[in-house]
Structure formats: C-alpha cells, structure tokens
Amino acid sequence: MTVALREVAKSFGSTQALRGVSLEPAAGEVLAVVGANGAGKSTLNKILSGALAPDTGEVLVDGEPTRFHSPLDARRAGVETVHQHASEWTIPGLSTAENLTLDRLASGEDGAWASPRRLLPRARAVAEGLGLHLSDATLLDDVTRLGVSERQLIAVARSLAQQPRLLILDEPTSALSTAEAERLFDVVRKLREQGVAILYVSHRLGEVDALADRVAVMRDGQLVATFAKPFTREDVVNAMLGELAEEIQRPSGHVAGEAIVRIEGARLFAHSEPFDLDLKEGEVLGLTGLIGAGKSELLGALFGLSPLPEGTITLDGRPIRPQHPAEAIGHGVHLVPEDRAAQALIPGWSVRGNATLALVRRFFTQAGNERRRVIDLIRDLRVRTAGPEAPIESLSGGNQQKVVVGRWLLKPARVLALDEPFRGVDLGARRDIAAKVRELSAGAAIVVASADVDEVLEVADRIVVLSHGSVVQDVLAADASREALTLAMNA
C-alpha cells in the first residue's frame, strides 16, 4: 500500500500554504520533511491524514485518486498521524490507561462501561510498544499528571498500536530528551524494517541525519529539493533557508560581566551533590541534561516554584529565597515555563493580544507603543503572519511558539529563564530568538534550558550540564563538543 500526493495545492484566505506538492513516501523508508516555520509541512500532513482536503491536486492510494473525507477514512487506508504538539492530543480528565486505549474506547469494543482497571493489560501493552513502562498507579491516574514528554510518547504509542502502513510523525521529539528520542528512533527503525512508510517532520537536523533515507525540503509551500542518502547537512540547510543561510550565523565575541545570581552550596534533591553556579550579566547560559537531571528544579528554585532543599541564592548581592512566582517576579526574575498549557495561547485573540499578554499594562502609555513593539517582535523573530491583528491560530506551530517566547522578551527582566523555548522552532528562528535574547542579556542574566545538546550549542555562550541534580560540566560553548556534553549528560 502506498499513499502519495500529486500536485496538491491548499490556501487559507490569501495565504498559499501549498503550491503544487507531489510526494510519495515509499514502503520501508523514512522520508524526512524539513523546512522553515510556515513552509507548509503540517498542512501537507493534514492532507495526507484526511484532516484537510486539498483545493486542487490529488491524494493517491495505491496510485488511485482517493478522497479522504475525514481522518477516519485515512486511518482505514492505514495512515496514522502523530500531530504536532501531540501532548495536547491527550485528553485531560481521562486516565493514562484510557488515553492509551482511546481507539478501542471510541470503537465501543470494550463496551461503554469499560473501567480503567479493565483496560490495564491492553494499555500496558500499548505503552510497552514504545518501551514505556508505567506503573498501575500511573496508568490509573489522570493523564495530566504526566509531564509533556510522557504525554507526547503516549500519543505516539497510541498510533503505533494501530499498525499503520504510513506513519506520519510531525515533530515527534520536540518535547523529548535525547534519551527518549533515541528510544523513539529505535522504534522508527524497526517499523522501517517491517516495511512501514514513515514521514518524519523535524527541525532537528541531527535526527534527520540519523534517521532519514530521503529528505524533502520545503520552502514557501513548495518542494524545493529532495536528497537521497548520502546527503550533507550543509546541502539541507542551504536548500531550507535559501539566501538566509548566509545571514544567520552564530554570534561571537561573547564577554560576560559580573555575576547577577550566585547559587552556592545548592542541592536540588535531598541526596544530590551540592554545587555552586553563577549567572552573569551579558551571558546566555545553556542548561542541559536528561529529563529528571534537575533542570526544572533549578529553574523552579529561582522562580519560587520549588525552594532548594539546601543552599543559598543571592541576586545582586542580596540573598533571596522566593516562595512564590509573584515574589520572584518582584525581584525581576522571570521564567518562560516548559509546559505551554500553563501559558496557553488564547485562541481567537490576535498575534498582538497574545504577544503582550505577559506585559503589565503600565509599561505602556499608549496602545500605539504596544503595537510598535509587537511589530518589532514580528520582524526580529521573523514571525510569519499577515500582521499583528491576525488570529493566532492562523500561524504555523513554530510561529505560534515564537509569539509565546516573544511575549516574555518584551518584558524587562534582571534574570530571564527560558525552559525549552525552541520546541518546534526552525533553525533560522532559533538563531533569531537567540539574537533577541542576547540583546536582552546586556542588562540581564539569561538561562536557556534544553534537553537537546545541539540547541544549547547553537545558542549558548556557556554550557552547564546537570546530571543527577548536580553540575557535572561547566564550559564555554566555544570549548564544548557535542560528544563531551552527551557523555557528561549520561554520567
């Protein structure tokens, strides 16, 4: 069975999202689709998965033009899709077990009165298909008790259980740590061996290198290049960014100032090794480590979410011990949290409304000022939108993310921590965000936490690796290597 697209075009109002794209993922291959935010990748996936109908062009199933009237039609044809922001596709209010077995529940196979407990064996089997070992207590608890990465894995496991012929993964690792991503890659390789066609969308070129048999590069709704193995990363980047490839280079000439924050004798967990850490003015500190290494605990301590079990924090020479985010904000310490649900975009609001949500009104004397700053933000982060008044849901996933992060960059801070700010954000935009963040770092200490080593290497001036709640490496980015950081992370 093959599913293919022939000359597919799709517009949303005046935006031409796809302009005649033909693509055929073959059985037993991983076809990576890459391209900048707003290039049309998710639109393409939605057409393949029956969520959207093309304006012109065709979906072919085994060479025959076919109309998918709904996602269910596509699933009957063997197409399973893990959509972008898959963690949001888990259903709050239902247990993890129910979320893992939604397909059975929806089909009524287990009857309307299936108790979560009766679902346990099936749920466990679905989870283990992806190497997830969950306790009964976890399976029976509400799915929202799990972190973003686990919820994302649950959405993937659910699709795998359907034994698809074409599996579409739209940025499946954006919420996963390197170790979790590796686990997913093993599964993807196994499916490839079994003859499944896999369409894999990612902004992480390291993954594309590691997994893809072919890479399709999209730009402005068109397929601009396809590379078969062996391809180089440089080929892919050049095709992706076009003339922008030259323009966005990693900034250099980093000079750190005085320490703004001093963390001394800190323990993140009751039994972890104590450590010291300075956050300096004018420096972007990249904080990395596996999930559970203590990144969130460290940011949480600064932001008043989870006080340190032991140790002191001084800010500009004064000891602080924020017990609540409001207190931290009072000190000028801001956190862009990892869980987007906690700072959700407001559907129906404009880009401008969403971008300025974090601002205390008094920073603005007039609406004109606010509008101007939002226009600057759209320009600096290259947000692809019809304008500040466009509704937020008209933006592609990565462009929405730029607005979420940009919202905090408009607000003056002494310490700004960003927890996983680059989820689903393209290479060019990561550097744009980094440049904006670096501009702010002139008067502030900036911490960027990411589980992805490549991302911290891209943006940080200095890199700190956490493992088991303690600092195991603290190096200038210029002296760091991917290999050494990965080793330290797993120490």
Structure tokens at 57: 């062009």
Which of 21, 43, 299, 458 lies at the binding interface for ligand ATP (CB under 6 A)?
Answer: 43
Which of 5, 8, 40, 458 lies at the binding interface for ligand ATP (CB under 6 A)?
Answer: 40
Structure tokens at 230: 């062996």
Q: How far is the CB of 36 from ligand ATP (least distance, A)?
A: 7
Q: How far is the CB of 42 from Mg ion (least distance, A)?
A: 3
- Could you say whether residue 41 binds ligand ATP (CB under 6 A)? yes
Q: How far is the CB of 46 from ligand ATP (least distance, A)?
A: 8
- Could you say whether residue 202 binds ligand ATP (CB under 6 A)? no
Q: Choosing among ligand ATP, Mg ion, none, which partner's interface includes residue 17 (Cβ < 5 to 8 Å by kind)?
A: ligand ATP
- Cα Rg of the chain, angstroms: 23
Q: How far is the CB of 12 from ligand ATP (least distance, A)?
A: 3
Q: Which stretch binds Mg ion (CB under 5 A): 87-95, 252-260, 272-280, 391-399?
A: 391-399
Nearer residue to ligand ATP within complex by CB, 35 or 304: 35
| Cα–Cα distance for residue pair 43/10, rounded to 1 Å | 8
- Contact yes or no for 222/233 (Cβ under 8 A): no
Phi, psi dihedral angles at 172 (to 5 degrees): -75, -20
Site size with Mg ion, rule: CB under 5 A: 4
Residue 389 half-sphere exposure, CB side, CA atoms within 13 Å?
Answer: 0
- Could you say whether residue 384 binds ligand ATP (CB under 6 A)? yes
Q: Print burial letters for 477-488: b (CB count within 10 Å at least 16), e (below 16).
A: beebeeeebeeb
Interface map 80-99 toward Mg ion (x if CB under 5 A)? ----x---------------
Amino acid letter, residue 413: A
Element (H, E) at 476: strand 470-476
Nearest to 455 by CA among 484, 433, 488: 433
Give me the residues paired with residue 259 across strands: 280
Q: Choosing among Mg ion, ligand ATP, none, which partner's interface includes residue 202 (Cβ < 5 to 8 Å by kind)?
A: none
Q: How far is the CB of 403 from ligand ATP (least distance, A)?
A: 11
| Cα–Cα distance for residue pair 306/300, rounded to 1 Å | 5
CB within 8 Å of 487: residues ≥ 6 apart: none
Q: How far is the CB of 382 from ligand ATP (least distance, A)?
A: 11
- Could you say whether residue 173 binds Mg ion (CB under 5 A)? no
Interacting positions 239-258 with ligand ATP (CB under 6 A) = none
Q: Choosing among Mg ion, ligand ATP, none, which partner's interface includes residue 162 (Cβ < 5 to 8 Å by kind)?
A: none
Sheet holding 30-35, edge to edge: 79-82, 166-170, 197-201, 30-35, 214-219, 222-228
Tell me how far CA of residue 114 lies from CA of 108, 117, 178, in angstroms: 9, 8, 36
Q: How far is the CB of 203 from ligand ATP (least distance, A)?
A: 7
Interacting positions 65-84 with ligand ATP (CB under 6 A) = 84
Q: Which stretch binds Mg ion (CB under 5 A): 8-16, 77-85, 324-332, 360-368?
A: 77-85
Interacting positions 16-75 with Mg ion (CB under 5 A) = 41-42
Nearest to 85 by CA among 424, 324, 389, 349: 424
Which of 25, 337, 397, 421 lies at the binding interface for Mg ion (CB under 5 A)?
Answer: 397
Q: Print burial letters for 194-209: b (CB count within 10 Å at least 16), e (below 16).
A: eebbbbbbbbbbbbbb
Q: Which stretch binds ligand ATP (CB under 6 A): 9-17, 60-68, 346-354, 449-457?
A: 9-17
Nearest to 408 by CA among 337, 322, 320, 315: 337
| Cα–Cα distance for residue pair 440/279, rounded to 1 Å | 14
Nearest to 486 by CA among 79, 177, 139, 113: 177
Q: How far is the CB of 92 from ligand ATP (least distance, A)?
A: 23
- Contact yes or no for 407/349 (Cβ under 8 A): no
Q: Choosing among ligand ATP, Mg ion, none, which partner's interface includes residue 384 (Cβ < 5 to 8 Å by kind)?
A: ligand ATP
Q: Choosing among ligand ATP, Mg ion, none, which partner's interface includes residue 399 (Cβ < 5 to 8 Å by kind)?
A: ligand ATP
Q: How far is the CB of 91 from Mg ion (least distance, A)?
A: 21
Phi, psi dihedral angles at 305 (to 5 degrees): -90, -35
Q: Which stretch binds ligand ATP (CB under 6 A): 41-49, 119-127, 178-186, 244-252?
A: 41-49
- Could you say whether residue 96 binds ligand ATP (CB under 6 A)? no
Q: Specify the length of the chain in residues.
A: 491
- Could you say whether residue 261 binds ligand ATP (CB under 6 A)? no
Which of 395, 434, 449, 451 lies at the binding interface for ligand ATP (CB under 6 A)?
Answer: 395
Q: How far is the CB of 265 from ligand ATP (least distance, A)?
A: 43
Nearer residue to ligand ATP within complex by CB, 166 or 201: 201
- Could you say whether residue 381 binds ligand ATP (CB under 6 A)? no
3-state SS class at 445: strand
Residues of the shown chain interacting with Mg ion in the complex, contacts defined by CB under 5 A: 41-42, 84, 397
Site residues, ligand ATP (CB under 6 A): 12, 15, 17, 35, 37-43, 84, 384, 394-399, 424, 426
